[in-house]
Amino acid sequence: MIVSNHMKTAFQNLGEFISELEKAGELLRIDGPVSSALEISHITDLASKAPGGGKALLFERVEKSPFPVLTNAFGSQRRICMALGTDSLDALARRIERFLRLGPPKSFRDVAELLPMGIDLLKSLPRRTAKAPCQEVVLRGDQIDLSRLPVLTCWPGDGGPFVTLPVVFTRSLETGRRNAGMYRLQVFDRNTTGMHWHIHKDGSHYFQEYRKAARRMPVAVAIGTDPAVTWAATAPLPQGIDEMLLAGFIRKKPVPMTRCVSIDLEVPAEAEFVLEGYVDPDELRLEGPFGDHTGYYSLVGEYPVFHLTALTHRKNPVYAATLVGRPPMEDCWLAKATERFFLPLLRSIHPEVHDFWMPWEGVFHNLVVMSLAKEYPGHARRIMSAVWAQGQMSFTKAVVLLDDDISLRRPADVLRTILDEVDLESDLFITEGILDVLDHSAPDPLFGSKLGIDATRRHPGERPRPTRQTLPLPANDTVGEALREISRKLFAFHLPPLNTRNRVLLLNLEKDGKISGRTLAPNLLESTALAPFSILVLLDSSIALNDYPLVLWKIANNVDPGRDIVGKEGRIVVDATSKGPEDGHTRPWPADIQMDPEVAQRIEERARELGIEEFLPQG
């Protein structure tokens, strides 16, 4: 998608970005009073799921706070490109790839071609400045009161208000290197928050260094940074690489940094708010639950506590926030930028990879689809293993491989190719490894089974796929009777209109705490009436079987491949229902995120007053 031929390449601060969004017709100002507890979230959710991602939202009158709130600023193809100063995300990826492919110059002409790139790199280096708009107002001690900030309570089941778009700055005790990451902060009281460091994040690695040394760890949090800095904090860079260098590369000019007023760290001088303080290595507190980007509530856990020593901000700051939940949401577009950014890095290590795609329904870490130029027997299997050994991609649960002539930009073609090519007996590879902390389907936290699917065409040196007879489809009455004979808990079914070799049948199963998909699977696979269907998918009774994005989301999130995929003679049953002890799952199963109906009704009754009628669901 081409966005503009005259796009601004860098924003000095969030205010400049807001102005540009408004000029482009991408900003909606909401001047009616709204609450930061659930109401802003519901309006943002409506906008995020509107066609085209709705608009960026600036809430100008937030109850109990003097500060306006910006949400959904990155939530569309156009806005994420505007944020990163590029006509397209692919153009940004090509710019990155130019640097990765640099070789030693062999001629004067080569040197001349390198000079502009070297100048770009010099422009990327962050620089120290004494001018710090983020410190126009400085609050210390008893002056600090986080309740004055319009921190969002996002979902009804959340443990409290959460800062959702923070850029958290830390520094390694051992190397002195800086890290900027994005870790949510639950507000506990006027001057403390949680610090939700996942174990695989750099901030957590640095925290362990301070724990070993029994020293307090200085931490600074910038809220409302310029778009390049915000996105760079989410990028999966190799450990030790300065995110401010990446932000400068995106901006094509340095990120101005300034020293904090109470701790020895630097922060972006143009930020809207800065929280300064420390984390005590021996102090942990229960944090959560939190309605997360998986569409489920992440569970309560013990995390470090962030104590504020200063709170600084601009004279007229804007509080930047994001809302996460069941996709599509704003973070999907941040992840799309990461996907395009990561492709050149991946290809620099594995040049045979043509493209890759993280479907939104896979919530980033649960499903990756890749196309490659296959060169030898077992090549697809090698790439699967490489993905599971590659930095943060090692947390990926399912990897699907296709040939490089299949466009990953056409999801329907991808699905048809998979269902036409795959032999369900020889092309599914189940292994074990580390998982993202937010994966709830595995029997144990942080570790479980993974699935590789080889949908590439067979190489001449590989064993041919077996030919299987395609049986005629049974009548609906025949299918219904067969299901009733197996279990009365199988009460509905749906055959997606896919004319593929492997046919899919979706089934609703009413879970009662006794019956499990695994116990039903043998009878489903042995039923003569169901033999024409290669893949039978079990879903909870509340799932609309013709809502395909919902179905794919449930499959990607609710399946532990080693436990929930049962196969026999080239056919499989996939159990994508919620799990409990009857399934051998003893961990708590998180609830789906849903808005409080009273809040939703209240906001929708005020839709005209708030100017959000265009975001309401049609029909």
178 membership: H or E segment, kind and range: strand 178-181
Q: Which residues contact 34 (CB under 8 A, 6 or more apart)?
A: 40, 43, 59, 61, 62, 63, 610
Q: Verify cis geometry, omega within 30 degrees of 0, for the bond prior to 328.
A: yes
Could you list the beta-strand ranges (E) of 420-486. Answer: 428-434, 447-454
264 is catalytic: no
Distance in angstroms (rounded) separating the CA atoms of residues 137 and 147 = 17
3-state secondary structure of 339: helix
Q: Which residues contact 253 (CB under 8 A, 6 or more apart)?
A: 10, 123
3-state secondary structure of 602: helix
Catalytic option among 202, 292, 560, 564? 292
CA distances from 335 to 183, 189, 203, 316, 362 (A): 15, 31, 20, 30, 12
Distance in angstroms (rounded) separating the CA atoms of residues 291 and 283 = 24
Whether 59 contacts 40, CB under 8 Å: yes
Half-sphere exposure of 537 (CA within 13 A, CB side): 24
What residue has token string 């102005």? 19
What residue has token string 């049974």? 474
Distance in angstroms (rounded) separating the CA atoms of residues 506 and 559 = 15
What torsion, rounded to 10 degrees, do the Cα atoms 24, 26, 31, 34 define? -160
What residue has token string 């400045």? 129
Give the amino acid at 303: Y
The catalytic site residues sit at 292
